[in-house]
Amino acid sequence: MTEEIADWVAVDWGTSNLRVWVIGADGAVIANPASDRGMAVLDSDEFEPALRRLISAYLPESGYVPVIVCGMAGARQGWLEAPYVPVPCAAPGAGQAVCPETADPRLDVAILPGVLQTSPPDVMRGEETQIAGYLRDNPDFDGVLCLPGTHAKWVHVSAREIVSFRTFMTGELFALMSEQSVLRHSLTEEGWDNDAFLAAVEDVMTAPHRLGARLFTLRAASLLEGTASATTRAQVSGMLLGLEIAGARDYWLGRDIVLIGTPKLTGLYRAALEAQGAAVRETDGAELALAGLRSAYEEMTR
């Protein structure tokens, strides 16, 4: 057993991955283990063993350790379903968490719920905790938070509440296009062409109804003109992102916009939005989930 014992544990449980922060008595991160044991590969009785494998060395011999969990562990197919909280609402906290029974008495687990919207129907799990993390340091923010990813979220925030949000399947559509469509034959190499990306964003925002035809044009151009894979990849990405930005115009137009995520993704969104005249800021989302989980833990211990 390690000499460093956890005071509490923060967990971000995604569909594909599991991230953990082991927190010491002074509030510092003792360890940050991770694994590929996401919700998609686990049955409900496998969540606790998957977590214990990562944190057992930091658990005390007796007593218990609070474990605050966000994300897909609270999904219907997860560890224990944590019912969604409807908007408008503050990012859900410890008071709305569900607590699964554990075989190890040292684990006191609380799973935070996600957020739902009834009109139009929409849901999120995990992003609301990143939002809580952002508002922890920016309590007066009034505007739109955009969280790019497989399922990108555009979230209107005002008075520390999630007012409304929309989800766009842009990342998943890109994966399907590049891995399962005819375009996969034109995307065999990595690389990037930023001018082609920005031109594709503008093209689709001008004529979104032509997207299906324009996508096939990319395949034809690679066959007939030998378009480089890097250019085609940037064009596919630009067309799909342009379609998203056009669809989200009522969220971002005239509002303060903050992009939350990995710099690789937020950089693309920033370039596309700035080309439309929008003022945009970026923040790395890697630690915002932890900041949101800290808020939930502090609520629990007040």
Task: Give the end of a domain, one of 65, 98, 125.
Answer: 125
d(CA 21, CA 32): 5
Among the residues of the chain, which ranges form H helices? 47-55, 127-137, 170-180, 194-206, 211-224, 229-247, 249-252, 263-274, 288-301
Decide if pLDDT at 1 tops 70.
no
Does residue 149 lie in a domain region? no
pLDDT tens for 67-88 read: 999 999 999 999 999 999 999 9
d(CA 300, CA 40): 29
Whether the model clears a pTM of 0.85, i.e. scores above it, the answer is yes
Percent of the chain with pLDDT over 70: 99
For residue 285, the model assigns a pLDDT of 86
Domain count, the chain: 2
Range of the domain at 218: 168-285
Task: For residue 118, give the CATH number of its domain.
Answer: 3.30.420.300
Q: What tokens were used for 222?
A: 């690679």
Q: What is the mean pLDDT of residues 105-132?
A: 97
d(CA 32, CA 78): 22
Q: What is the mean pLDDT of residues 170-188?
A: 95
- 81 with 178, same domain? no
- 179 with 280, same domain? yes
For residue 2, the model assigns a pLDDT of 56
Contact 19, 54 (CB under 8 A): no
Contact 86, 117 (CB under 8 A): yes
Coil, strand or helix at 181: coil
d(CA 289, CA 71): 10
Contact 129, 162 (CB under 8 A): no
Does residue 3 lie in a domain region? no
φ, ψ dihedrals at 247, nearest 5°: -70, -25
d(CA 248, CA 32): 35
pLDDT tens for 165-178 read: 999 999 999 999 99
Task: For residue 208, give the CATH number of its domain.
Answer: 3.30.420.310
d(CA 231, CA 252): 28
Decide if pLDDT at 240 tops 80.
yes
Does residue 17 lie in a domain region? yes
- 197 with 281, same domain? yes
Q: Kindly compute the dihedral angle of the four CA atoms of residues 184, 244, 238, 256, in this order, to the nearest 10 degrees.
A: -150
Q: What tokens were used for 269?
A: 């969104």
In sequence order, what are the beta bridge partners of 153? 147, 167
Q: What's the DSSP call for residue 98? A: B
Give the closest residue to 90 by CA, choosing from 121, 129, 138: 129
Does residue 216 lie in a domain region? yes
For residue 123, the model assigns a pLDDT of 98
Does residue 37 lie in a domain region? yes
- 92 with 29, same domain? yes
Contacts within 8 Å (CB) and 24+ apart, 207-210: 208/242, 208/243, 208/246
